[in-house]
Structure 1
Amino acid sequence: MKVLHITPHLGGGVGKAHAAIQGATDPTVERAYYLLEEPRDRRYADLIEQAGGRLHHAGQGVSLAELIEDADIVQIEWWNHPRLYHLLATTALPPMRSLFWAHVSGLFAPYIPTGLVAAAGRFLFTSPCSLQAPEIEALSDTVRARLGVVGSSFGFEYGRTADEMPAGGASSAVAYLGTVDFVKMHPAFFDIIDAVDNADIRVSVWGGFDAEGEPARRARSMRHPERVRLEGQTADPRAALQAAGIFVYPLREDHYGTAENALIEAMSLGLVPVVLANPAERAIVTDGVNGVVAADPDDMAGRLGRLLAEPEERVRLSAAARTTARDRYQPRRSAGLLEEHYRALVGEPKMRIDFAGVLGSKPVDWFLSMQQRDRESGGGRMFAAGGALSKGSIDHFLATFPDDPALLALSAR
């Protein structure tokens, strides 16, 4: 079976997921990847090639139409990337058996166009929380029968000697690893740490940050600034997490994440997750079973303090967190689920999809299609920042289509 993946790139979480899945793929499945951007960081691209995947990118002049015609399944890695919209809406693509794998939740902006979900041969999400979106719940039974969930985040594996085993819940050290920006991190992050009733709490915050940005300023203005250390970006997240026992992970309630790589990696090392009751996190962490799910920032501060004072509870939750990661978040499991969808889809005829009719024909249509619910409610986070080229932001679209008059007019509002 030949599967062609169309993806904007193979960086970040998408590249990491496919490097793992390629290594766990059944030998009867041949995977090729068509990248819309030439790889800048080849780390995951190289791993995919070493595991047998074939890589092409748009700049090589390879015929995408021929690759599609040769493929049994065309898997489109979906998120709100302007180049992906452009390819689908402006290119005369041949008929295909299409499978979309969404790497955003769709619960908040960026939304997933429901017309795209209905038009796809199969549409897969990376978390069951996406099935709770009102637009998805309102789809017909026929369309919902073509939906599925395949996880894209996987835990670390570790050895069995004493030196190789992570500290897990035995340690009272606290860590955060992820986006150090309030576009995803909860704006009360530093207030939570300040409010914990334990003078000995120390939190290592891993992730790139702007020394003059808002999170760094908030850290400096804490009542107890000694409690937080901004460590910066790490090339070795496993080593960054290895000595900690608690993973504090408060995200804003309308964040766009879904699979939450850092959370699952931390759990695989036995760190006890402490999260807020957002849909994506609740799909991974069960309160009192394999971690702590707090109702709000005040509740998180109180429960984090109690967890620090209860080493036996930390050890119990640590073991359950590690078991969850081991049993539910493995590349071979996701590879197997994908292959089940391939086998079901390969018996169906190839279909031509009118992507322009589904997504719109112009960049402003594509941008607004993923902001629709926010637009109807008066704007919301339509132009959310988080860095000039934050995923699918107005700045990202303008960087791709710098002379588009409708986008320029929209950004000037």
Structure 2
Amino acid sequence: MNILHIAAHLGGGVGKAHSSLCSVDPGSIKRSYLLLESPRDLRHVDLLRQLGADVVVAPDRQTISSMAAKADIVQVEWWNHPRLYECLCETAWPKMRTLFWSHISGIAAPYLPTGLLTGDDRFVFSSECSFAAPNVATLPPATRSKFSVVNSGFGLPPRTVDGGRRNRNSISYLGTVDFAKMSPDIFRVADEAATSEAPVRLWGEVSPLSEVVHTAAAMRDPRRVRFMGHTDNPAAVFAQTSIFLYLLQPEHLGTAENALTEAMSSGCVPVVFNNPAEAAIVEDGRTGFVVCNIAEATERLRWMMRNPEAVAEMGRKAADHIATTRMPVSSAMAFEKIYADLLQVEKRRTDFRSRLGDTAAEWFLSTKTLARATPEKLDLRTGGRAAKGTIDHFLTCFPEDTSLLSLIADPTDGDWSSDRPNCLSRDREFAVA
């Protein structure tokens, strides 16, 4: 079975998911990868090649079309990356069987394009929480039946979890140390429930000038958090952690939550907000705690620090749960079944442009709104950062695109009404992500 994967790149969680899947693939599956831009992080690309996968970087349109024609199944690794839109809408596709694996939840912007959800292609979510996405939940049952869920976040290799050997009051956060994902509420919880002797250790790269550092400095007792920096060995951090304080922004984009899954597989007990992605992983009161606000998080953290034996037992349940539900072999088997079902379908030609839009501006707007967007209702501010899927990101990829430039037109030029609050000027400089 020849599976062709098309991805913007294979860094971070997506690359990790695929290198993990390839490591447990049966011999009947041959995977090839087309990366639409040169990867900055080669770890997963190198590992995939070592595992026997073919990886082609920045192919031309003819190469993409030719490889798609030879594949049994074309699997698109979906998130709202400008290059994926460009590839889908501007390639002369042959007849093919297409599957989308979504690596964003679609619950809040960036949304999953409705044109992809309502097409004939198989669509696979990486978290159960995507069924609550507004343009998924309203689809008729017959359409929803074509959706599947295959986890993309996996626990660490199983091992004996000995909660008695770890520091009983060790509290950690590991992940993105930036308010694009981390909730600032973590510092209020630390101020109320942690101590200078048992601080919350924050693992992850952070700029000393970032808003996160300034927020920590403004705490009543800044000694209750400690910035540990980046680690290349998360397993070692989790082995010494009892409580995993993983409080995230309510509208973050993640689904896999690798750090959370790996921490639980190591016997750490998480405290998470009731965001859909985390609530789909943590069973409240059994494998961790799902809380609604700062007060609940503070109360739970205090209880956990007073009851280390109960926390250790919960940690063993968390590790057992991840070992039986969120390991690479489970996802590989799920994909095997989906592939087998899809092979029963005849190849067909798809016009993605009719489903996603004719211009880069239409592609961008499809990630921001579910109805037809009007410029005055969009907030395009990004702080000068070309973060994933922002207008800056699209303009970094398509700097001369007139449809995008019209979105950021100066309102005084007559394109839009002069009362638009969040316009960007034409001569703005765009940072490269």
TM range (shorter): over 0.9
Gaps of 5+ in 2: 410-422, 424-433
Which residue, out of 337, 349, 354, partners 1:352? Answer: 349
Letter in 1 for 2:29: V
Residue 336 of structure 1 is matched in structure 2 by: 333
Deviation at 1:142, TM superposition (A): 2.8
Taking the aligned partners of 2:87 and 2:23, their CA distance within structure 1 comes to: 28
Computed over aligned residues only, the root mean square deviation of the Cα atoms, in angstroms, reads 2.2
Q: 1:258, CA displacement in angstroms? A: 0.9
CA distance in 1, matches of 2:223, 2:213: 13
Whether 1:295 and 2:292 are equivalent positions in the alignment is yes
2:124–2:148 Cα contact (<8 Å) kept: yes
Please list, as runs of the form range in 1=range in 2, the aligned pairs for 1:2-21 lying within 5 A after superposition.
2-21=2-21
Measured after TM superposition, the shift of residue 387 of structure 1 is: 7.5
1:145 is aligned to: 145
Distance 1:26 1:189, change over 3 A: same
Q: What count of residue pairs does the alignment treat as equivalent?
A: 410
CA 374–144 in structure 1, closer or farther in 2 if over 3 Å, else same? closer
Find the aligned partners of 2:186 and 2:377 in 1 and give their Cα distance: 21
Give the percent of matched residue pairs that are identical in Structure 1 and Structure 2. Answer: 42
Name the counterpart of 1:258.
255
Q: Deviations over 1:69-122 (max 9, x none)?
A: 111110000000000011111121112100000000000111001210121421
Distance 1:181 1:269 in 2: 24
My pick for the range that moved more, 99-108 or 203-212, is: 203-212
Aligned to 1:284: 281
Alignment of 1:365-376 (within 5 A): 365-373=362-370
SS of the equivalent of 1:4 reads strand
Question: CA separation in 1, counterparts of 2:66 and 2:237?
Answer: 44
In the alignment, the residues of structure 1 paired with residue 93 and residue 375 of structure 2 have an alpha-carbon distance, to the nearest angstrom, of 36
Question: Contact between 2:80 and 2:388, CA under 8 Å: does it hold in 1?
Answer: yes
Q: For the residues of structure 2 that align with 1:355 and 1:2, how far apart are their CA atoms? A: 22
Alignment match, 1:190: 187
With over 3 angstroms needed to count, the CA separation of the structure-2 counterparts of 1:125 and 1:61, relative to structure 1, is: closer
The CA deviation at 1:134 is: 2.5
Instruction: Tell me the amino acid that sits aligned with residue 255 of structure 2.
Output: T
1:101 and 2:101 are equivalent in the alignment: yes
Aligned to 1:119: 119
2:200 equivalent among 175, 200, 203: 203
* Secondary structure of 2:77 counterpart: strand
CA distances 1:114-169 after superposition (whole Å, capped 9, x unpaired): 21012142100011010112311222333212100000011112555xxx967787
Which structure 1 segments of 5+ residues have no match?
A: none
| Structure 1 stretch displaced more, 10-19 or 383-392 | 383-392
Q: TM-score, normalised by structure 1?
A: 0.94
**Tell me, what secondary structure is at the counterpart of 1:107?**
coil
Alignment partner of 2:131: what SS? helix
Q: Do 2:279 and 2:290's aligned partners in 1 also have CA atoms closer than 8 Å?
A: yes
Confirm whether residue 237 of structure 1 aligns to residue 206 of structure 2: no
After TM superposition, the score normalised by the length of structure 2 is: 0.89
Aligned partner of residue 370 in structure 1, secondary structure:
helix
Q: How is 1:39-78 mapped onto 2 (pairs within 5 angstroms)? A: 39-59=39-59, 63-78=63-78
Give SS of 2:333's match.
helix
